[in-house]
Structure 1
Amino acid sequence: MTARHALLDQLVEASTGARVVRQWPLADGCVGRVVGLELSDGERLVAKTADGPAGGLKLEGFMLGYLKRHSRLPVPRVLHADDHLLLMEMLHGGGRLDGESQRQAAEIVAHLHGVTGPAYGFERDTVIGGLPQPNPWSDDWVGFFADHRLRHMAEAARREGQLPGHLADRVDKLAATLGRWIDAPAAPALIHGDLWTGNVLVDQGRISGFVDPAIYYADPEIELAFSTLFGTFGQPFFERYQEIRPLSPGFFEARRDLYNLYPLLVHVRLFGGGYVNSVARLLERFGA
């Protein structure tokens, strides 16, 4: 047994009162290492560990707990969360998002978007893909999206050398004209914030859970837009979603791509490469 395994076993036993009898690697995430655990009482858990003091795991535990308390979104129950260890129940997954599970997901997400807040933003800053996501409260959605999503992420990418300066300037130019396409939503809606295939768990054709949130109160269309960027959800999802929460005209024609500029900028910071070209093409489309 390695020293790392022994330390994890000690932390888990202190948190649950049960011994770890088996552990196996699951993945390496943006924040830390992820392993599956089987305990002496038969329970199976997921443990995320991190060596640094950044506090991303504690924040992730907070966000999962917030969703559990304030919505019906199926998320893992958190047993322990601190800067170095996040311990949560193991939800079964590995299935494919077919038409029926997409329709079920639409019902779940539509209900989540029915949870409203006092303003846009959140009570604390969050993260997306491990990157800081500022959430100051604002009554102005368009201004919030311009300043604390597009400009924030573009300037960070410029500072890090991931986004050329002239493209960051064009993001700023587009941010100043968002009102041409985006109106104030009906109300600030609670969103998961990072809704892509890897964060949606399917088991035996049914949605079993959602993981790795990046929550705040927003125009729910920003969530729907991201769900199309990498093909997470398609026609079955949107047909069912609109039966519950109809979309205003213009979403698929314009607003979807505008909102997807934000996750594209996130991916520029995380991965660079072709995502810079995607940002440039989108800016060109909207005349920036």
Structure 2
Amino acid sequence: MSPDALARRAAALLGSELAQFRRLTGGDLSDCLLIRLADGREAVAKSGPAPRTEAEMLAAIAATGAPAPAILAVDDAVLVLQRLPDRGGSAPAELGRAMARLHVARGDLYGWRTDYAFGPVAIENAWCEDWPVFWGERRLLCHAPHLPPALVPRLQKLVDDLPNRLPARPRPALLHGDLWGGNVVYDDGRVAGLIDPACYHGHAEVDLAMLALFGRPGPGFREAYGAPEPGEAERVAIYQLWPALVHLRLFGAGYRGLVEGLLKVAGV
């Protein structure tokens, strides 16, 4: 769907005519537009792999009390969201409290009720009772057919050892699933919303590890979130491997060094 068609479809879902639209920053894997309607309202219109699923994920985040944009309309092709104020700044302690609220929500198993995707890269979410099995099969080895052959034995070695490295039954926390700085909207020094989720239930450390992959949330985050679990530092590289593998597949060989570095840190 062209950006113009996306904008007009979103306006129609809101019961108005489109006045104008513009692209928002980001949008590597989907179109994201700011639309202005003839009646003066503004909203964000998104395409994506599964708009209804993303809407369910945002609703799940909001239900915990963590900030998320309101869902204004959705169909099979378009998700229309509240425009969040985004004057920037940072709020590490507030983000820590928001993540703590999110992670209090729990499921019965690991996974999500449906699969999802980052563009062409599938996210396998079939329910599982065993966390090392879930992480090994659904987050790491699933990428093996798409990797440079030299990386596969190292990845397999790590996966074979996951029962000794990851807790078997951590609390199945609700995860944002794609938590990096660009998916946190700040407004004048407060957290306005968590956006672009890829939710599932899993070990809460996954979100924390990804948040630290391309930057740090800043002083005050950890104190507000809560103390680390024993052994967390040894698991960070294992949990960062998933987004690193996804980036390698999506964006190419420039991310191979990141994957190899994390495998080295993990001792394989």
After TM superposition, is the score higher than 0.5?
yes
Cα distance change, pair 117–203 in 1 and its aligned pair in 2 (3 A): same
Amino acid corresponding to residue 266 of structure 1 in structure 2:
V
The answer to whether the Cα contact below 8 Å between 1:27 and 1:33 also exists between their aligned partners in 2 is no
The answer to whether the Cα contact below 8 Å between 2:89 and 2:190 also exists between their aligned partners in 1 is no
Selected match of 1:40 from 31, 38, 41: 38
2:243 corresponds to:
263
1:217 is paired with a residue whose SS is strand
2:177 corresponds to:
193
Amino acid corresponding to residue 192 of structure 1 in structure 2:
H
2:196 is paired with a residue whose SS is coil
2:25 is paired with a residue whose SS is strand
Rounded to whole Å, the distance in 1 between the matches of 2:148 and 2:264 is 15
Rounded to whole Å, the distance in 2 between the matches of 1:107 and 1:230 is 21
Cα distance change, pair 89–276 in 1 and its aligned pair in 2 (3 A): same
Q: CA deviation at 1:23?
A: 1.7
2:24 is paired with a residue whose SS is strand
Selected match of 1:119 from 109, 118, 131: 109
Amino acid corresponding to residue 35 of structure 1 in structure 2:
L
Selected match of 2:69 from 76, 91, 96: 76
2:231 corresponds to:
250
Cα distance change, pair 110–232 in 1 and its aligned pair in 2 (3 A): same
Cα deviation, 1:228-282, whole Å, max 9, x if unaligned, reads 011141342112211xxx3222212x11111111111111111122321222222
Runs of 4+ in 1 over 4 A off after TM superposition: none
Cα distance change, pair 28–130 in 1 and its aligned pair in 2 (3 A): farther
TM-score, length-scaled by structure 2: 0.91
Amino acid corresponding to residue 63 of structure 1 in structure 2:
M
The answer to whether the Cα contact below 8 Å between 2:21 and 2:36 also exists between their aligned partners in 1 is yes
1:41 is paired with a residue whose SS is coil
The answer to whether the Cα contact below 8 Å between 2:92 and 2:217 also exists between their aligned partners in 1 is yes
2:221 is paired with a residue whose SS is helix
Structure 1 gaps, min length 5: none
> How many percent of aligned residue pairs carry the same amino acid?
35
Rounded to whole Å, the distance in 1 between the matches of 2:117 and 2:66 is 19
Q: CA deviation at 1:48?
A: 1.8
* Correspondences of 1:221-232 after superposition (within 5 Å): 221-232=205-216
2:259 corresponds to:
279
Q: Which moved more, 1:114-123 or 1:24-33?
A: 24-33
* Correspondences of 1:116-195 after superposition (within 5 Å): 116-128=106-118, 131-153=121-143, 155=144, 158-159=145-146, 163-195=147-179
1:173 is paired with a residue whose SS is helix
Q: CA deviation at 1:218?
A: 0.3
Cα distance change, pair 227–94 in 1 and its aligned pair in 2 (3 A): same
Rounded to whole Å, the distance in 2 between the matches of 1:227 and 1:187 is 19
Is residue 193 of structure 2 the alignment partner of residue 209 of structure 1? Answer: yes
Is residue 67 of structure 2 the alignment partner of residue 67 of structure 1? Answer: no
1:248 is paired with a residue whose SS is coil
Structure 2 gaps, min length 5: none
Q: CA deviation at 1:202?
A: 0.3
CA RMSD in angstroms, aligned pairs only: 2.1
Q: Which moved more, 1:182-191 or 1:206-215?
A: 182-191
1:26 corresponds to:
24
Q: CA deviation at 1:89?
A: 1.0
Amino acid corresponding to residue 181 of structure 1 in structure 2:
R
Cα deviation, 1:36-87, whole Å, max 9, x if unaligned, reads 112233321011246xxxx43333233223333x321211122222333221
1:229 is paired with a residue whose SS is coil
Amino acid corresponding to residue 223 of structure 1 in structure 2:
D
The answer to whether the Cα contact below 8 Å between 2:136 and 2:159 also exists between their aligned partners in 1 is yes
Cα deviation, 1:197-223, whole Å, max 9, x if unaligned, reads 110000011100011000000000011
Rounded to whole Å, the distance in 2 between the matches of 1:136 and 1:91 is 32
Aligned length: 267
The answer to whether the Cα contact below 8 Å between 1:31 and 1:57 also exists between their aligned partners in 2 is no
Rounded to whole Å, the distance in 2 between the matches of 1:220 and 1:30 is 26
Is residue 74 of structure 2 the alignment partner of residue 103 of structure 1? Answer: no
The answer to whether the Cα contact below 8 Å between 2:130 and 2:169 also exists between their aligned partners in 1 is no
Q: Which moved more, 1:201-210 or 1:233-242?
A: 233-242
